Structure 1
Amino acid sequence: MKVMGKHVVLSLVLLVLGFMIAFSYNITNNESTADINKNSWEKEYQLRKQLIEQEEKNRKLQQEILEKQEKITNIEKELAQEEQVFFNLVEDTEKYRLFLGKVKVKGKGVEVTLADGEYDAAEENVNNYIVHEHHIFKVINELYISGATAIAINGQRLKHNSYIVCNGPVINVDGNQQPAPFVITAIGDPNVLESALNITGGVKDQLVNENILFTLEKKDEIILDPILGS
């Protein structure tokens, strides 16, 4: 009985000891798991916080990019406008130079020849069959209206303030005498210039009715030299 009592006591002691060890291990294990979970949550929280901060920085950078792109777009528009202004200035300058006769010009065009009409013994007034300045003015004005960029009479280039004066069988162009026949060369679209002069009831018909010999020829190339001197 004493031996059995000792065994029972020992068994109880071992049982309690085992329970205490298991309980202690369980507590320790739970604490470790809690620590791990806590550390994992803290890391996740920090990562989320960093991600939010990074996204905020990205948004700010994107906003800066949009603002800079808008500035670049505005600068490009301003440059395009300036370029167009400079282009227009250059284009206008070239037109003025052509108008003033300051540059050599080459291109297609027409050549109009005005010659005195055939002598008619029955005609008392000789002026009725010779070319006058107003005949030449009609041709020149029609050519300019039709888009001619440069015109010359007998090779003499006209300028913005040119004058033509009739002096018997010859005319004075800016003080230089030019004899008949008068060859008027004009640079421009040959088809347009020809149609403008040959229109029914137009310049050609008017000159022919006034006994002026009128001929027109289209040219693939006409070269007019610039006006020299002051």
Structure 2
Amino acid sequence: MAFSYHLTQLEMNKGKPNVSDGQWEQTLALRNQLINEEKTNRELQKELSQKQDLVFKNEKDLSKEAEVYENLAEDAEKFRMFLGKVKVKGKGVKITLTDGAYDPKEDNINNYLVHEHHVFKVVNELYISGAAAVAINGQRLTSHSYIICNGPVITVDGIEHPAPFIISAIGDPEVLSSSINLIGGVKDQLVNDNIIFTLEKDNEIVLDPILGS
């Protein structure tokens, strides 16, 4: 037993530096403390990484929510504009429809007047071509607007307007004018009906909101 114990002590002493038992125990304690601290640091790093991932996810979610709210705000603004609730300004076109020249002794006046169906053709073509807002002689139109012809005047939502009729539309001037000027399109049809037709592009058209809106 004594011989065995002596060998064991020799083996243990081989793994220890030339220090006292007290110093060795202190070194082991410090080493174990360092190992525990490193383990704790790794756990804290892992926890920090998880929290950073959570923060990143929350930021993405907030960003998506902000984008949704922004889109909703844009949609609401477009809806208000479509309803004529807000004043709008932008590029677009102005189309003027004027009664044609005629000889009252020989011609039927009705064949030279601008009628509601002429105005309808222009307005519908503008909306189809992407116009964001349209007005007749400065009066905004909505999806519920109605136009009635009464001799030399037309009535828009109960308000009478004499000729000439200026139809203003906000939208891409190139697209709107190209659509109106198509061969065999709206312009040609109106000219064939003896209507004097003019179109001009405008870099700044201002349309007021509907009265009482």
TM-score tier, shorter chain, comes to 0.7 to 0.9
The answer for unaligned runs of 5 or more in structure 2 is: 1-15
* Secondary structure of 1:36 counterpart: coil
**Change beyond 3 A, Cα 1:34–1:211:** closer
Amino acid at match of 2:160: Q
Alignment of 1:203-222 (within 5 A): 203-222=186-205
After TM superposition, the score normalised by the length of structure 2 is 0.85
Amino acid at match of 1:219: D
- Asked if residue 147 in structure 1 is aligned to residue 130 in structure 2, the reply is yes
**Change beyond 3 A, Cα 1:204–1:34:** closer
- Asked if residue 199 in structure 1 is aligned to residue 172 in structure 2, the reply is no
Distance 1:151 1:83 in 2: 31
- Asked if residue 92 in structure 1 is aligned to residue 75 in structure 2, the reply is yes
Partner of 2:171: 188
Bigger Rg over Cα:
1
Partner of 2:144: 161
Q: Any runs of at least 4 consecutive aligned residues in structure 1 with deviations exceeding 6 A, and if so which?
A: none
Name the structure with the higher helix share: 1
**Change beyond 3 A, Cα 1:176–1:42:** same
90-99 vs 46-55, which moves further: 46-55
Which deviations, in whole Å up to 9, do the C-alpha atoms of 1:38-70 show, x marking residues without a partner? 344323322221121011101110111112112
- Structure 1 vs Structure 2 CA RMSD: 2.1
* Secondary structure of 1:216 counterpart: strand
The answer for unaligned runs of 5 or more in structure 1 is: 1-32
Report how many aligned residue pairs link the two structures. Answer: 198
Distance 2:17 2:33 in 1: 24
